Amino acid sequence: EVQLVESGGGLVQPGRSLRLSCAASGFTFDDYAMHWVRQAPGKGLEWVSGISWNSGSIGYADSVKGRFTISRDNAKNSLYLQMNSLRAEDTALYYCAKAPGQWLVPTYFDYWGQGTLVTVSS
Amino acid sequence: EIVLTQSPGTLSLSPGERATLSCRASQSVSSSYLAWYQQKPGQAPRLLIYGASSRATGIPDRFSGSGSGTDFTLTISRLEPEDFAVYYCQQYGSSLNTFGQGTKVEIK
């Protein structure tokens, strides 16, 4: 059974940093691209970032480019999102999502974690 | 960026009725790279449909997707109590994935 478990969320002040993690199990992690998708409270879904199976291809939404960094450790079956210079508008539930293939695009998301909440507030 | 507009915003129906949800794209979605997700309160989204019309693993056949180009439809042939939820479409034909704003299917 595919399982994705996010962690690392919390309350953080504007301008500070936070690192999210996603622990994957139930599938061969290094065969698939992985993504982060967020959902602001009461709002819709927004793709944040994605990384190919071998970290050779990486993409970011314009809203986070230059502030967020995605990475993965295939030996640890883990996905990460380093979030710097956080803003109030980054407040959201952050989901880790698995792609059905190796590459970044084109892709939908076939499995999702339960999310970790990031709140940016002073 | 391709903008997806879903309609209606809310659909009020009774169990057993047919639900028809629309997703319209601001420009053509290449190769019918369109997916549909279901999200219930407090839960993560669940993939229903990919490639505009292919059902994901374990999805009942009362869910069907159709369309191409700029107009796509999700149909639930007969609503079951567990189908009342919010539904999102997503296009993945461009390098920037985008989602629609969602359609809420509520019990009438």
pLDDT tens digits, one per residue of B42-97: 999 999 999 999 999 999 999 999 999 999 999 999 999 999 999 999 999 877 88
Check whether A58 has a pLDDT greater than 80: yes
pLDDT of res. B14: 96
Which one, of A39, A118, A45, lies nearest residue A84 by Cα?
Answer: A118
A60-68 LR contacts (CB < 8 Å, sep 24+): A61/B96, A63/A89, A64/A90
Chain segment A62-86, per-residue pLDDT in tens: 999 999 999 999 999 999 999 999 9
pLDDT of res. B10: 97
Q: Mutation test of the interface with chain B: which of A6, A38, A96, A108, choosing the one with the most B Cβ atoms within 10 A?
A: A108
Give the chain A residue nearest B44 (alpha carbons): A114
Alpha carbon of A115: minimum distance to chain B alpha carbons (Å): 7
Confidence of residue A20 (pLDDT cuts 50, 70, 90): very high
pLDDT of res. A49: 95
Confidence of residue A106 (pLDDT cuts 50, 70, 90): confident
Higher pLDDT, B30 or B74: B74
Q: What is the C-alpha separation between A41 and B18, in angstroms, rounded? A: 30
pLDDT of res. B30: 84
Mean pLDDT of A41-53: 95
Cis, peptide link before residue A14, omega less than 30° from 0:
no
pLDDT of res. A122: 95
Sign of CA dihedral B70, B74, B77, B79: negative
Give B-chain residues touching A106 at CB under 8 angstroms: 30-31, 33, 92-94
Nearest-by-Cβ selection for B95 from A59, A100, A113: A59
pLDDT of res. B18: 97
pLDDT of res. A42: 93
Q: Mutation test of the interface with chain A: which of B4, B92, B97, choosing the one with the most A Cβ atoms within 10 A?
A: B97
Average pLDDT for chain A: 96
B92–A106: do the CB atoms touch at under 8 Å? yes
pLDDT of res. A77: 98
Q: What are phi and psi of A51, to 5 degrees?
A: -145, 135
pLDDT of res. A117: 98
